[in-house]
Amino acid sequence: MRSPGLGVGQEESGLRSLEELSKKAQELKEKGMSTYEISDELKVQADTVVWLLLHGRDAAKPRGESYDVYVNWNPIGSSVRRLTLVGQAIADMVRESIEAGEIEEPDVVAGIETAAMAIALIVARSLGKPMAAIRPQRIGEKKMAGAVNPSFYPVEGKKVLIVDTILRMGETARAAIETLEAVKARPVGIAVLANKSGKEKIEGIPLRSLVELLPVARQ
């Protein structure tokens, strides 16, 4: 099997090497998580998870072309100060897009549970908006519409900005859009820390990111 050639960036675990990433994948598998649940947890593709589980320690020796990137944002997430600054930067990016007419001004900021809740709170506070929480669900290989957490601000009939940490292929954002539309809310934008998809829109909804990770051809 060809190595996915993972890169380094962040998720909640703060891993420093491919060997540690493989070890983390093995630990999650031993806890009973499926390939797709591990994929969600580590923010990598499902076939990357399979490769990590099969290769173990050899994962630290990638060969062949890269086609996936692991984003380790622990240096941000582990610091309240840095997390606050990044959240404010995302809010500033959104504000700029609103002023440029690229995104409608939202009534509510909605974070994806659970990874994006802290950063969504900072974005909401910076924009002076109430906060909601969305919980998409996974059924087998697919992310599906889930629920809006009733403990946070209601979104029915509101314009909503979706906030997440790492956007991989867009399946979580797509499920969040479906969740909001099911309760008659209107998604007006998606803001993330890092975008791995190369897309500028998800289901027609504008996507903005502080960092964009794009594959490039080898010379």
Domain that holds residue 157: 79-212
Query: Does residue 5 fall inside a structural domain?
Result: yes
What is the SS3 assignment for the chain?
CCCCCCCCCCCCCCCCCHHHHHHHHHHHHHCCCCHHHHHHHHCCCHHHHHHHHHHHHHHHCCCCCCCCCCCCCHHHHCCHHHHHHHHHHHHHHHHHHHHCCCCCCCCEEEEECCCCHHHHHHHHHHHCCCEEEEEEEEECCEEEEEEECCCCCCCCCCEEEEEEEEECCCHHHHHHHHHHHHCCCEEEEEEEEEECCCCCEECCEEEEEEEECCCCCCC
Q: Are residues 152 and 194 in the same domain?
A: yes
How many domains, the chain? 2
Q: Are residues 142 and 207 in the same domain?
A: yes
Q: Are residues 48 and 84 in the same domain?
A: no
Query: Does residue 219 fall inside a structural domain?
Result: no
Residues in the chain predicted with pLDDT less than 50, given as ranges, are: 1-16, 57, 59-63, 66, 217-219
Q: Are residues 137 and 201 in the same domain?
A: yes
Q: Are residues 54 and 86 in the same domain?
A: no
For residue 193, the domain's CATH number is 3.40.50.2020
Give the pLDDT confidence score for residue 71 in this predicted structure. 82
Q: Are residues 59 and 98 in the same domain?
A: no
Record the pTM.
0.74
- For 48-81, write each residue's pLDDT tens digit: 888 788 765 454 444 455 457 778 888 898 999 9
